[in-house]
Amino acid sequence: MEKKTWLITGVSSGFGYELTRQLLESGNNVVGTIQKESETEKIRFFYETYPNQFEYEVLDIADSYTSSKVVEGAFKRHTSVDVIVSNAGYGLYGAAEEVTKKEIDDIIAANLTGSIMFIKNSLSFLRKQGGGRIIQISSFEGQVATPGSSIYNATKFGIEGFCEALSQEVAPFNIGVTIIEPGKSRTSFEYASVKTTGSLSEYDISPAHNYLTRTISPSPGNPTLVAARIIESSNINPAPLRIILGKEAIEETISTLESRLAVYKSQIKTAPTSDYNNI
């Protein structure tokens, strides 16, 4: 299989780490980003074991200026960058009323604006080199809204809408776009990469606080297999727009979409009544 160069955000843990490990083991090149210099110890194995295949940059994904420089540098140093993976981000639990404006601003800056700008910064380079693949790590919560995750849902619903429209814009340039929607997986995202907001006791009767009392059990998703499926997707042509990973994730998503479709179908007769020709 042809060796490729991948640019991946957030490689110090979770799916980003596992993607990098598998790609390097199979002979690919990886330009990875970490959020801060103190995370270099987490990726020591990569730069010590694969000094000719791996390089890293420090990038706070919310910093659009640094993001543009990281992307530009990767394309300048390599003949081509074949796959762009927008992976960096985090979760946030809490009812909407409990979340502060700063918490909202921060997660939108990372999960939504940061992801958009990272991808946007790569487009001219991908177009000029004749194509490539963009992979956005989303979540099944980009389709399934859950109480207590309203702000996180907003970022994932938003990035999915962006990527779906983008896929149509860049198709003429041989640029494929794939949204990955994993279910719950056993990565650090469930712990270190999820933040909780202050709790209002009034919401103890609301499902928004279910996360406070639920029994913690191992998630079913295997990050090694998730990463393998993501890598495999990069070789599928044309690029699949969405790939959902996990039994619970696919079941919940189908159920949600069927319910949503039923609502729209129930309005087939009433929706046109707002058109001019119905006056």
DSSP 54: E
Residue 49 falls inside a structural domain:
yes
Q: Tokens at residue 33, please?
A: 């980003």
pTM score, two decimals?
Answer: 0.93
Residue 273 falls inside a structural domain:
no
Cα end-to-end distance, the chain, whole Å:
62
Helix count and strand count (H, E) for the chain: 9, 9
**pLDDT (0 to 100) of residue 198:** 73
Residue 257 falls inside a structural domain:
no
Residue 226 falls inside a structural domain:
yes
Q: What DSSP string runs through 78-142?
A: SS---EEEE----EEES-TTTS-HHHHHHHIIIIIIIHHHHHHHHHHHHHHHT-EEEEEE--GGG
Q: What CA–CA distance (Å, rounded) separates 158 from 64? A: 18
Beta bridge partners of 7: 31, 84
Structural domain of 230: 5-249
**pLDDT (0 to 100) of residue 110:** 96
The single residue of 13, 156, 167, 203 carrying the catalytic annotation is 156
Residue 270 falls inside a structural domain:
no
Residue 35 falls inside a structural domain:
yes
**Within the chain, which residues score under 70 in pLDDT?**
1, 185-193, 213-220, 279
Instruction: Specify whether 150 is catalytic.
Output: no
Dihedral angle of Cα 230, 235, 240, 242, to the nearest 10 degrees: 0
DSSP 50: -
**pLDDT (0 to 100) of residue 17:** 96
Instruction: Specify whether 156 is catalytic.
Output: yes
The single residue of 138, 167, 185, 234 carrying the catalytic annotation is 138
Domain count, the chain: 1
Beta bridge partners of 179: 136, 242
Count of residues making up the chain? 279
Instruction: Specify whether 138 is catalytic.
Output: yes
Residue 24 falls inside a structural domain:
yes
Q: Tokens at residue 276, please?
A: 């001019």
Instruction: Specify whether 201 is catalytic.
Output: no
Dihedral angle of Cα 223, 229, 234, 238, to the nearest 10 degrees: -140
